[in-house]
């Protein structure tokens, strides 16, 4: 009920303020223009996500201090901790980042967001900033209307900065004029009461504007014209730090449990930081005076002193919390656990993953790998083996001899529980992702969809194979037993080799080129021809009946189809180097006729 009243209540309050005072209208317009500039800025930076962002994140987050630096520098560059938070949640949701790395980025982003206060206090209020805004807007909007993606992105960034500057100008002018009508400094509060009230006001401001940057601009501009006192401005800054966690909480609502864990970590960090700042406010104020004196900043320059305070208490918060990241991760993971499900559902496909072309591809890739792992388990079960043993260093011949008695396995039930839900959601997710401006990502999604289809087809073929395996495996004819033994062995052997590839790729030990899969294609084709020749020989020599031979030929075809589907799938999901989805390597890869020619000439 309360949530439903907040939005209309805010609109009514805003409408009253606009009607009550034209000066308030100018301030509100300044805030609106500033937020509009941040939207432009975010859109501009989001355009530069064609695979580059993923690579930067991988390199920049493999150590804790790197995660911290990435968060700080990316927020400084983009001037949006909200965008950095959304990016972090998106990549965490698809498994590219672990929780510790995500927390490191958020810690760094909190420090990076303080650079905005320095820019506004040190530059924005010292010069006529609207003069710089106009040329940026002119060139920015001109570039936005260009067809070239890079030019459009640069235009959005320029226009965004222009709108930010213009918003700051209108806010400052509005507060200057507002001072003649109402002196807000008259409502200043001192002591503990002032700290609590203005901290809560800072939280409210940031929640409403959904931007700690905008809140800090408003606080600094109001302070610069003495509409608020220095003490109350410090409390407002602490409140804005708490309020910015709402962005992470809102962003995590559509994310999986990993995104929710990060939002909790963000909230805890900002609450602890704010509590330390409030309890030790006098010590922080003394430290600010010392730093300001060392930097030759005038004691009367309260805006720059506010910027120092904003940086200082965030830095102290990082120093306090950084040693406890591992403990924080463990506790949050214990608090927020993955829900056990009877029927497997997608783990990485969510609204957060849909926000960036890179994360869409990564989410689908991760789910496809999950689907393959489930499928390999099902296929091995149909031939009487377990994935745990096959994907170990145990000899396959020993495993097959130990498990020579096959038991019936319900493939339909396994498909329903472990494949169907993920597969259908992957296809739906790919259909929803429309990146016409990102042909690179569209190509990747096409091949990933094909990989999913190959996985499902391999399971269907294994179901067809299972019937005769169960029937013929107990045959008294040793020749028939030997041929079905080969079928089981060859499928298990291929799955083992592909799993080695998977582990190598996941640990970044090796780069596998598409052309290397031609070796697999030639090998399985040779095995297929050898088996058919052997079956013909057995029939000719009357070692097996024609009926048994026909069944073997059919089952050999099922085996070949399973192996070919698995190799075709692996060409996409186990290949590094951007999947090599362009035309060159795909065209160089051998087709069926060329494979037959290679075998014939060998």
pLDDT tens digits for range 365-388:
888 988 998 999 999 988 888 888
Position 10 scores a pLDDT of 61
pLDDT band at 1 (very low <50, low <70, confident <90, very high): very low
The closest alpha carbon to 352, from 52, 49, 94, 44, belongs to 94
Fold of the domain built from segment(s) 353-601: Methane Monooxygenase Hydroxylase; Chain G, domain 1 (1.20.58)
Position 2 scores a pLDDT of 44
pLDDT tens digits for range 384-401:
888 888 888 888 888 888
pLDDT, mean over the chain? 77
Position 126 scores a pLDDT of 53
pLDDT above 50 (res 67): yes
Position 457 scores a pLDDT of 93
Q: Which residue has the higher pLDDT, 452 or 583?
A: 452
Where in 316-441 does DSSP place strands (E)?
none
**Rounded mean pLDDT of 562-587?**
65
**Can you tell me the distance from the alpha carbon of 290 to that of 299, in angstroms, rounded to the nearest whole number?**
10
Provide the 10 A C-beta neighbour count for residue 150. 11
The encoded tokens of residue 193 equal: 């009461």
- Report yes or no: 519 and 512 within 8 Å, Cβ to Cβ: no
Percent of the chain surpassing pLDDT 90? 4
Listed range (129-133, 230-234, 595-599) with the worst mean pLDDT:
595-599
pLDDT band at 595 (very low <50, low <70, confident <90, very high): very low
Residue 251 parent element (H or E): helix 245-253
**Can you tell me the distance from the alpha carbon of 245 to that of 268, in angstroms, rounded to the nearest whole number?**
9
pLDDT above 60 (res 484): yes
For 549, phi and psi rounded to 5 degrees? -65, -40
**What is the dihedral sign for C-alpha 39, 42, 46, 48?**
positive
**Rounded mean pLDDT of 469-484?**
81
**Can you tell me the distance from the alpha carbon of 572 to that of 448, in angstroms, rounded to the nearest whole number?**
7
Where are the alpha helices (H) located in 336-438, listed in sequence order? 357-382, 387-390, 396-402, 411-415, 421-432
**Can you tell me the distance from the alpha carbon of 342 to that of 363, in angstroms, rounded to the nearest whole number?**
22
Q: Which residue has the higher pLDDT, 26 or 269?
A: 269
Q: Which residue has the higher pLDDT, 113 or 592?
A: 113
pLDDT above 80 (res 426): yes
The DSSP call for residue 148 is S
pTM over 0.75, yes/no: no
Radius of gyration of the chain (CA): 31
Position 470 scores a pLDDT of 80
**Rounded mean pLDDT of 484-504?**
86
pLDDT band at 453 (very low <50, low <70, confident <90, very high): very high
The closest alpha carbon to 371, from 416, 414, 422, belongs to 422
pLDDT band at 586 (very low <50, low <70, confident <90, very high): very low
pLDDT tens digits for range 51-63:
556 667 667 777 7
What dihedral do alpha carbons 321, 326, 329, 331 form, nearest 10°? -90
Position 455 scores a pLDDT of 93
pLDDT band at 456 (very low <50, low <70, confident <90, very high): very high
pLDDT above 90 (res 459): yes
**Rounded mean pLDDT of 572-588?**
50
Q: How far is CA 263 from CA 54, 60, 106, 266, 399, in A?
A: 21, 21, 9, 5, 47
Position 184 scores a pLDDT of 52
For the chain, give every residue range classified as CATH 1.20.58. 353-601
Q: Which residue has the higher pLDDT, 562 or 303?
A: 562
pLDDT band at 601 (very low <50, low <70, confident <90, very high): very low
pLDDT band at 527 (very low <50, low <70, confident <90, very high): confident
Q: Which residue has the higher pLDDT, 286 or 32?
A: 286
């Amino acid at each position: 009920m309360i949530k439903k009243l907040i939005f209309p209540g805010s609109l009514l309050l805003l409408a009253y303020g606009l009607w009550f005072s034209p000066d308030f209208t100018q301030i509100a317009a300044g805030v609106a223009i500033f937020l509009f500039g941040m939207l432009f800025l975010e859109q501009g930076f989001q355009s530069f996500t064609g695979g580059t962002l993923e690579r930067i994140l991988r390199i920049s987050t493999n150590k804790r201090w790197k995660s911290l630096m990435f968060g700080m520098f990316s927020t400084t560059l983009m001037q949006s901790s909200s965008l950095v938070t959304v990016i972090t949640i998106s990549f965490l949701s698809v498994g590219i980042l672990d929780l510790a790395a995500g927390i490191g980025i958020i810690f760094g982003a909190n420090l990076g967001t303080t650079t905005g206060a320095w820019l506004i206090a040190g530059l924005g209020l010292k010069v006529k900033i609207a003069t710089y805004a106009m040329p940026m807007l002119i060139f920015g909007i001109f570039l936005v209307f260009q067809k070239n993606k890079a030019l459009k992105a640069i235009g959005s960034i320029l226009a965004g900065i222009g709108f930010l500057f213009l918003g700051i100008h209108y806010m400052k002018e509005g507060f200057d004029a507002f001072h003649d009508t109402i002196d807000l400094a008259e409502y200043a509060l001192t002591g503990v009461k002032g700290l609590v009230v203005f901290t809560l006001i800072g939280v409210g401001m940031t929640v409403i504007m959904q931007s700690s940057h905008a809140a800090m601009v408003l606080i600094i501009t109001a302070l610069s014209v003495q509409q608020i006192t220095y003490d109350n401005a410090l409390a407002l800054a602490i409140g804005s730090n708490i309020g910015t966690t709402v962005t992470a909480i809102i962003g995590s609502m559509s994310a999986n449990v990993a995104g929710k864990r990060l939002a909790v970590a963000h909230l805890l960090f900002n609450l602890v930081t704010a509590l330390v700042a409030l309890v030790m406010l006098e010590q922080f104020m003394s430290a600010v005076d010392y730093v300001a004196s060392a930097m030759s900043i005038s004691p009367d320059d309260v805006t720059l002193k506010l910027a120092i305070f904003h940086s200082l208490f965030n830095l102290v918060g990082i120093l306090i919390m950084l040693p406890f990241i591992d403990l924080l991760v463990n506790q949050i993971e214990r608090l927020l656990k993955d829900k056990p499900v009877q029927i497997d559902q997608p783990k990485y496909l969510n609204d957060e993953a849909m926000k960036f072309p890179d994360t869409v591809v990564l989410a689908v890739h991760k789910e496809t790998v999950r689907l393959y792992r489930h499928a390999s388990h099902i296929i091995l079960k149909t031939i009487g083996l377990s994935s745990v043993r096959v994907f170990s260093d145990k000899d396959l011949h020993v495993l097959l001899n130990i498990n020579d008695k096959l038991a019936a396995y319900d493939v339909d039930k396994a498909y329903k529980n472990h494949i169907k839900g993920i597969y259908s959601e992957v296809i739906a997710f790919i259909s929803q992702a429309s990146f016409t401006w990102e042909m690179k990502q569209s190509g990747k999604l096409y091949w990933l969809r094909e990989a999913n289809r190959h996985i499902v087809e391999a399971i269907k073929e294994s179901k067809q194979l299972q019937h005769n395996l169960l029937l013929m495996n107990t045959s008294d004819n040793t020749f028939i037993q030997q041929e079905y033994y080969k079928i089981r062995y060859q499928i298990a052997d291929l799955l083992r080799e592909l799993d080695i590839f998977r582990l190598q790729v996941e640990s970044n030990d090796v780069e596998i080129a598409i052309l290397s899969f031609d070796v697999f294609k030639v090998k399985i084709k040779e095995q297929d021809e050898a088996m058919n020749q052997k079956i013909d020989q057995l029939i000719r020599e009357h070692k097996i009946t024609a009926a048994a031979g026909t069944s073997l030929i059919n089952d050999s075809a099922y085996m070949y189809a399973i192996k070919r589907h698995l190799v075709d799938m692996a060409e996409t999901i186990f290949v590094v180097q951007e999947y090599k989805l362009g035309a060159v390597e795909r065209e160089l890869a051998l087709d069926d006729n060329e494979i037959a020619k290679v075998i014939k000439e060998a």
